[in-house]
Chain A
Amino acid sequence: MSPSATSRAQAARGPAGQLRTRAEEAASVLPPLLVQAQQLAGAVLLGEHGRRRSGVGDDFWQYRPAAQGDSRRMIDHRRSARGDLQYVREREWQIAQTVHLWVDQGQSMRFSSDRNLPQKVTRARLMGLAMAVLMVRGGERVGLTGGRLPPRRGNMQILRMAEHFTSDEDMTPYAPPEHRALIPHARALFLSDFLGPFEELEVALSKAADRGLRGVLMQVLDPTEEAFPFAGRTRFEGPGDGTIHETLKASALRDRYLDRLAERRDALERLCRAAGWTFGIHHTGDSAQAGLLWLYHALERRT
């Protein structure tokens, strides 16, 4: 296919298609994500899609030669009788997990300090969708929090999620985390800058913890929000309706701003620790790949 044909095809698929293409590109280099089933007792749903590894399940997976340590009852005699070796019949591991995604689409996320940097929301959507792709490929059920997109399997879900991510209709300055319609004992991934009111996050996280959800909070920040490289008389304008702070000497504010940022981060980490969640930071100046890898490991971590 010639390049022009490709771009035509992309254009035909619209922004959702493009976002999905990019997310799949970003996800293509990772092995399928295997979300660990933590609460085997509660939340295990046996799906028809195997995990492509041996384990508990109905479907035949493979015969393997019996090794030392295998109990004798595991030996499959029908297969072993056809030769001299003894074989063990293994079944495919068939466990599906539910993962809830929440990507902050508020106005505070639509910010980039430099033309060469992506907006925070763009980066957060990309990483969230990449995770979704990985998880769907691994057979998990993925959905958005809040019941707008209940967890489902399959590539259609990725498309729906991508479509959902392309709408910029959320005009809330600082969007509160969506904590409705959470499936108990599932996993959750919250991507936001967490610069909004802290109480709402506390409520959301405590509610999630009550339901036995474990998950990851990832704070996506712009480099200027981390470094505060301003000086002189400056009027800082917040998102939306205009929370405004004017200063005569911005450079004098720097240290106190950084203190407050660190404070906020401490609070977030404390909250995560209390709820059994993992907290991570990502800057739009860094590569999405690094953030995705971190997310992959964080979601796979057995806690």
Chain B
Amino acid sequence: MTMIAGIGFASPWLLLGLIVLPILWLLLRAIPPAPKRQPFPAVSLLLGLKDDESLSDRTPWWLLLLRMLAVAAAIIGLSGPVLNPAQQEGGAGPLLIVMDASWAGAPAWELTRTHIEAELTEAGRAGRPVALLRLTAPEPLQFLAAGQWARQLPGLLPQPWVAAPEQVASASEMIAAVEGGFDTLWLSDGIAMAGRAELVATLAERGEIEVYETGAPVIGLLPATYEDGAIALSALRSSGGLAQEVTVQAVGPDPSGTERALASAGLRFDTNATRAEVQLALPMELRARISRFEVLDLRSAGAVSLTDDRLRRREVALISAASSDEGLALLSPLHYLRQALEPTAELLEGALSDLLPANPDVVVLADVARLAPDQEAALVDWVEEGGLLLRFAGARLAASDTARDAEEPLMPVRLRIGGRSIGGAMSWGEPKALAPFAEGSPFFGLDIPAEVTVSSQVMAQPDPELAARVIAELNDGTPLVTRKALGQGQVILFHVTANAEWSTLPLSGLFVEMLERLAVSSAGKPPSADALEGTTWTATEVLDGFGRLRDADALAGVPGPDLIAAPAGPALQPGLYTSGSRAYARNVLREGEEIAPAVWPNWVPVMRFEGAEERPLGGILLSLTLVLMALDVAAALLVSGLWSPARVAGLVLAGGLALSALPEGTQAQELSPVELTSELTLAYVRTGDAEVDRTAQAGLQGLSNVLALRTSVEPAPPYGVDLERDELAFFPFLYWPVTGNQPMPSSEAYGRLNAYLRTGGMILFDTRDADLALTGATSPAARRLQQLALPLDIPPLEPMPPDHVLTRAFYLLQDFPGRHPRGEIWVEAAPPDAEQVEGLPFRNLNDGVTPVVIGGNDWAAAWAVDAENVPLYPVGRGFSGERQRELSRRFGINLLMHVLTGNYKSDQVHVPALLDRLGQ
């Protein structure tokens, strides 16, 4: 590839074509654009006229330049220019590519992979065998053809840990197993790794080493802690230097369960600082939902900090039977619980019936013997749904007959009467100490202080299931703490009091630890390795190198202390671990760790990834050619006068106006509710057929004019209703022209329509086909009307009876023509008990307004007028046609009067009877 000015050319000899440009210039310059031909008989008058200005008949220079540019771009584009072409590099023999492949390299992984691909391609060209070695997951070296590695490359991913010394050691062994020399290409993530220097030395024995690094500082997030009512977030970076700002997002499910950023905070690294901190104060509800913190736009396991229930404060409801007595605070059954739980849990106190609806995590009943039956049932329900009920014994419980004969749901065991007292003034024996916690007990591993003694307790009845339910016992084998599962929750009974009356347990630190292990309280600080002694944790979800959580399929359990103390590796992958009901989030970085930059021996060349990559320019230049040629066409037209600049500008303006007018057109009908309700507004349903909508608009306008002229109803200009969007409640009357292909309204729109009909609205359905569908034949509009009206809440209908109130609401009518004279009209059926009133022409009809009127006479067309109030459509012929139009207007007025005044005219029929009764 030939290089000219930093740009490589695939076929440089094509550039010779540029020589023809000057020739082309001369040629094009001599050939002006063709004149416009215009037949013109009056040319006889033009003969002899000379042009005033001596305009050149040469092609204008700018048009020439445009064409030259187009041709030049085409020539250069075809010669295959490439920006930053890949440079050939020497090298022979096998090549080993070593990758750190830790989480620190994940953000730049794409770059690394591209680089490896390029190296592989090059090695493939040079025929060098290649081996790949990931230090985080070393595998025996295989020198294969580069093409094979290129296929496997997408499967090579960074791991969420940094290579531990033993992995480096095994990598060294694998290198040692290979014979012969090879060159090494080391793609480093830029953070320190134990044993790097030794590995470099080993590799240097075999051949040359070349190291690539991104050079950007590696950023990691430390686990979040909860301090003084706020979440403390800290981030680390591998090297100081310029000030830098990163954004940390708190991610968790929102109330609907979707993962989203709940909060974010900016972290600022000062110049030369490697650590940045920020405090994030969040409401408890929000805090409890946070599942992880992550650095925005940084895909790396180190930039993710998972949270467990340490951020979450449990809600504990404390309930005791004894009325609180100010003088005896230390004797209160709840005092020690309060002290133990206050730092780490939200305490709720009050009556059980008040607290249960708040759905606390834990309910503590201190010396409560009996509950009201309904409260007990509610409590059982709550426990079965996953609640933790913690009960303490006491004098009342000992004295009551709770769980004496039969096991109760809210008591793990049956109790003996009275309990026992040991080591007191009136008893023999010493107070009992606790036996070491058995394996399998949640307390297993806790140290038992010697001073913890128990002097009184309630006793469990021997029972076949008793042994399984004991989780702590005294050294004489009597149960101290018993537990049973109930539904998804559990019931735990401490057989001693919650105060120091019966035992010294509440005074000791063991009490707090036991509560923690029972997940009554959540620890504010990460547990120490010792505190997790004897527990086994299984991973539920683990992070991959990019910081994405995935299911931990079948990873082995991890001993508790390792979880805290051991560095992350294949056996201990960062992620979420659970043990029993406790959860622990193991992050990549632990509190107190630092991210140190990688250190290389002086003689190892460390290079940065090249930012610029190969970029072919041919496509850009060829498209530039096309654009220029299009411009040339326009310019040539302009020059030859076929296009005038004013016309082009006018077109552009018109286009712009049309575009800006489009939204205006759709918004033109938008009226505020205030405008719609300040005046009576007649409305029609927009069908989507522009012609029908225009007719309906003009028809209602005509009807409005007639109404204003003849009655006291003076409607505002009619309004086209979009059933999907508009509120219907503002309109007393809807005109609905039905077309054969009208779209069905959505179910929400039907909901609004039904509400509209129920609240007194009226819809006039007009199928506009009375001339076609006279004799019972059907039409597309009528069929559509059937479909449209099916979901509507329409009462039984009947053809309009001759004594309907519509026949006399304003005018006396018996015929209701529109543009078509004699279509039948259907209205709500009269009640079956309507009777003919003696001496009156009308039946005693129902109250209320018919919600629908259905007909097909095309009334809107008969009413329609233009802006000058001249009818738009012909009706009938001659005078009888005008009479028909008049009748249709009268029908419109009657209809509106019926809508607006209801059955007022119907009531008039009672006037004779009323007058008669008044004795007039």
Of the stretches B33-41, B360-368, B621-629, the one at the interface is B33-41
Nearest CB to that of B33 among chain A residues?
A233
A225 and B641 within 8 A (CB): no
Of the stretches B48-56, B85-93, B232-240, B840-848, the one at the interface is B48-56
Q: How near does chain B come to A116, taking the closest CB pair, in angstroms?
A: 17
Query: Which of chain A's residues have a CB closer than 8 A to the CB of B772?
Result: none
Tell me the A234-282 residues at the B interface (CB within 8 Å): 234-239, 243-250, 252-253, 256-257, 260-261, 264
Nearest CB to that of A256 among chain B residues?
B49
A230 and B38 within 8 A (CB): yes
Complex: how many Å from CA A238 to CA B55? 23
Complex: how many Å from CA A260 to CA B49? 10
Decide yes or no: A249 and B51 within 8 Å by CB, A111-B41, A230-B38, A234-B36 being known contacts: yes
Decide yes or no: A225 and B38 within 8 Å by CB, A232-B641, A249-B51, A252-B52 being known contacts: no
Indicate which residue in A174, A195, A235 contacts B35 across the interface (CB closer than 8 Å): A235
B642 and A195 within 8 A (CB): no
A238 and B644 within 8 A (CB): no
Query: Which of chain B's residues have a CB closer than 8 A to the CB of A193?
Result: 41-42
Indicate which residue in A224, A225, A232, A245 contacts B47 across the interface (CB closer than 8 Å): A245
B41 and A239 within 8 A (CB): yes
B880 interfacial contact with A, CB 8 Å: no
Q: How near does chain A come to B742, taking the closest CB pair, in angstroms?
A: 35
B36 and A235 within 8 A (CB): yes
Complex: how many Å from CA A190 to CA B40? 22
Query: Which of chain A's residues have a CB closer than 8 A to the CB of B44?
Result: 108, 174, 195-196, 238, 243
B43 interfacial contact with A, CB 8 Å: yes
Query: Which of chain A's residues have a CB closer than 8 A to the CB of B41?
Result: 107-109, 111, 120, 193, 195, 222, 225, 238-239
Query: Which of chain B's residues have a CB closer than 8 A to the CB of A107?
Result: 41
A231 interfacial contact with B, CB 8 Å: yes
A236 and B641 within 8 A (CB): no
Complex: how many Å from CA A114 to CA B706? 45
Q: How near does chain A come to B483, taking the closest CB pair, in angstroms?
A: 99
A234 and B43 within 8 A (CB): no
Q: How near does chain A come to B894, taking the closest CB pair, in angstroms?
A: 42
Tell me the A117-143 residues at the B interface (CB within 8 Å): 120
Decide yes or no: A247 and B51 within 8 Å by CB, A234-B38, A237-B38 being known contacts: yes
Complex: how many Å from CA A248 to CA B44? 18
B644 and A245 within 8 A (CB): no
B37 and A235 within 8 A (CB): yes
Query: Which of chain B's residues have a CB closer than 8 A to the CB of A222?
Result: 41
> How many residues of A are counted as interface, with CB atoms below 8 angstroms from the partner's CB atoms?
38
Complex: how many Å from CA A221 to CA B37? 20
Q: How near does chain B come to A265, taking the closest CB pair, in angstroms?
A: 11
A111 and B39 within 8 A (CB): yes
Nearest CB to that of B45 among chain A residues?
A260
> How many residues of B are counted as interface, with CB atoms below 8 angstroms from the partner's CB atoms?
26
Complex: how many Å from CA A177 to CA B833? 95
Q: How near does chain A come to B60, taking the closest CB pair, in angstroms?
A: 12
B439 interfacial contact with A, CB 8 Å: no
Indicate which residue in B35, B39, B642 contacts A246 across the interface (CB closer than 8 Å): B35
Tell me the B321-352 residues at the A interface (CB within 8 Å): none
Complex: how many Å from CA A230 to CA B37? 11
Decide yes or no: A245 and B53 within 8 Å by CB, A238-B41, A261-B42 being known contacts: no
Interface hub of B40, B42, B44 (most chain A Cβ within 10 A): B40
A232 and B45 within 8 A (CB): no
Complex: how many Å from CA A249 to CA B32? 14
Query: Which of chain A's residues have a CB closer than 8 A to the CB of B530?
Result: none
A237 and B39 within 8 A (CB): yes
Indicate which residue in B38, B55, B639, B644 contacts A236 across the interface (CB closer than 8 Å): B38
Decide yes or no: A237 and B46 within 8 Å by CB, A232-B641, A232-B642 being known contacts: no
B35 and A233 within 8 A (CB): yes
Interface hub of B41, B43, B49, B639 (most chain A Cβ within 10 A): B41
Complex: how many Å from CA A200 to CA B57? 38
Query: Which of chain A's residues have a CB closer than 8 A to the CB of B47?
Result: 243, 245
A231 and B35 within 8 A (CB): no
Complex: how many Å from CA A301 to CA B130? 112
Nearest CB to that of B54 among chain A residues?
A248
Query: Which of chain A's residues have a CB closer than 8 A to the CB of B45?
Result: 195, 257, 260-261, 264
Nearest CB to that of A232 among chain B residues?
B641
Nearest CB to that of B646 among chain A residues?
A231
A236 and B51 within 8 A (CB): no
Nearest CB to that of A237 among chain B residues?
B39
Complex: how many Å from CA A221 to CA B57? 32
Complex: how many Å from CA A234 to CA B39? 10
Complex: how many Å from CA A246 to CA B57? 12
B640 interfacial contact with A, CB 8 Å: yes
Complex: how many Å from CA A237 to CA B36? 10
A236 and B49 within 8 A (CB): no
B46 and A245 within 8 A (CB): yes
A238 and B53 within 8 A (CB): no
Interface string of B631-666 (1 = CB under 8 A from A): 000000001111010000000000000000000000
Query: Which of chain A's residues have a CB closer than 8 A to the CB of B46?
Result: 236, 245, 247, 253, 257, 260
Binding site for A on B (CB under 8 A): 32-33, 35-47, 49, 51-53, 55, 57, 639-642, 644
What 5 pairs between A and B have smallest CB-CB spacing?
A232-B641, A238-B43, A108-B41, A248-B55, A236-B40
Apart from A222-B41, A238-B40, A260-B46, what are 5 other A-B pairs with CB-CB below 8 Å?
A: A225-B40, A230-B38, A231-B641, A234-B35, A249-B52
| 23 A–B contacts from the bound complex (CB under 8 Å) | A109-B41, A195-B41, A225-B41, A233-B33, A233-B35, A233-B57, A233-B639, A233-B641, A234-B36, A234-B37, A234-B38, A239-B39, A239-B41, A243-B43, A244-B43, A245-B43, A245-B46, A250-B641, A252-B51, A253-B49, A253-B51, A257-B42, A261-B42
